[in-house]
Amino acid sequence: MLIIPAIDIKEGKCVRLTRGDFSQKKIYLDNPADMAIIWRKQNAKMLHIVDLDAALTGETINFEKIKEIVETIDIPVQVGGGIRSVDAVKKYLDIGVSRVVIGSAAVTHPQLIEELMKLYRPSKIVVGIDAENGIPKIKGWTESSTVQDYELALQMKAMGIERIIYTDIACDGMMQGVGYESTKRFAEKAGMKITASGGVTTSRDLKKLNELSACGVDSVIVGKALYECNFPCQELWYGFEDEMTLDHNFSTARKK
């Protein structure tokens, strides 16, 4: 189980939200690159970065902050939030981002996924599905799609996408446990590589998610629980060190 710390950026600062509510914002550090260094020193093998401003506007507002993170640390970085064009994807990959997460655009402009799959390896493009009661939410979780989460996943799979980042919105940032049943249901129906996200509160949640490895869940994004020090970071990573793996493409140099 690969454990991936999350860094959410809003107005240039490292923040965490509760259930994606921008009015429930807590600032942790003024410089997100400093937080990236902290997680790297705690033995993180990969980071998940979200541009929250871009998720609402579609503009790469915090691009320079993300570039600073990529240039500062020596581990793979995946980036999401408002990436809705081929140019935006290229812009991130050109600075060394290892893989790009497409969220809203997978629903509103599925032809973008088809085009990206012609240009890049599947390991470079990941689709993020953030769902509430099985319905994907888009545009910073302000709108709902018209399909079920697993239906969207199967559409993406048919286009060549191999990995989904699945977030149970009801659990995200609540510190009340992971959405085990919703993730299990989704993973079983999607039949893809799954990165779980949302609600991880203690190491027990990680062990629970690890039971879903047979369903394709091989990694998990952890946010607020790390920031609120719910478990010692070193103990967290050491406990899963033997099972920690990266996709083949990430076992080589980040910029190769």
Question: CA angle, 154 as apex, 179 and 150 as ends, to 5°?
Answer: 25
Mean pLDDT for the chain overall: 86
For residue range 31-40, list pLDDT tens digits in order. 999 999 999 9
The answer on pLDDT for 149 being more than 60 is: yes
Q: How far is CA 170 from the centre of its chain?
A: 16
The answer on pLDDT for 139 being more than 70 is: yes
Q: Which of 9-13, 21-25, 151-155, 206-210 has the lowest mean pLDDT?
A: 21-25
In a domain, residue 134? The reply is yes
> Average pLDDT, stretch 155-172?
91
Tally the domains of the chain.
Answer: 1
Domain residue limits at 165: 2-250
Instruction: Establish whether 242 is a catalytic residue.
Output: no
Question: CA angle, 189 as apex, 99 and 245 as ends, to 5°?
Answer: 40
Higher pLDDT, 230 or 174: 230
% of the chain residues with pLDDT over 90: 61
% of the chain residues with pLDDT over 70: 84
In a domain, residue 26? The reply is yes
Which CATH number covers residue 114? 3.20.20.70
The answer on pLDDT for 98 being more than 70 is: yes
In a domain, residue 71? The reply is yes
The answer on pLDDT for 102 being more than 90 is: yes
For residue range 166-187, list pLDDT tens digits in order. 998 877 655 667 888 999 999 9
3-state secondary structure at position 169: coil
Which residue among the candidates 53, 130, 168, 218 is catalytic per the annotation? 130
Q: Which of 125, 116, 76, 122 is nearest to 96 (CA)?
A: 76
Structure token pair of residue 193: 């590589």
Predicted confidence at residue 23, as pLDDT, reads: 60
In a domain, residue 196? The reply is yes
In a domain, residue 166? The reply is yes
> Average pLDDT, stretch 10-22?
77
> Average pLDDT, stretch 98-111?
94
Helix 110-119 and helix 149-159: axis angle, to 10°? 30
Q: Which of 74, 60, 81 is nearest to 7 (CA)?
A: 81
Instruction: Establish whether 53 is a catalytic residue.
Output: no
Predicted confidence at residue 237, as pLDDT, reads: 56
The answer on pLDDT for 21 being more than 80 is: no
In a domain, residue 255? The reply is no
Q: Which of 46-50, 218-222, 230-234 has the lowest mean pLDDT?
A: 230-234
Which residue among the candidates 8, 51, 205, 247 is catalytic per the annotation? 8
For residue range 185-211, list pLDDT tens digits in order. 999 999 999 999 988 888 889 989 999
Predicted confidence at residue 22, as pLDDT, reads: 58
In a domain, residue 256? The reply is no
Q: Sorting pLDDT into bands at 50, 70 and 90, what band is 240?
A: low
The answer on pLDDT for 242 being more than 60 is: no
Predicted confidence at residue 232, as pLDDT, reads: 60
DSSP H helical ranges for the chain = 32-41, 52-57, 63-72, 86-94, 104-108, 110-119, 149-159, 180-190, 203-210, 224-227, 233-240
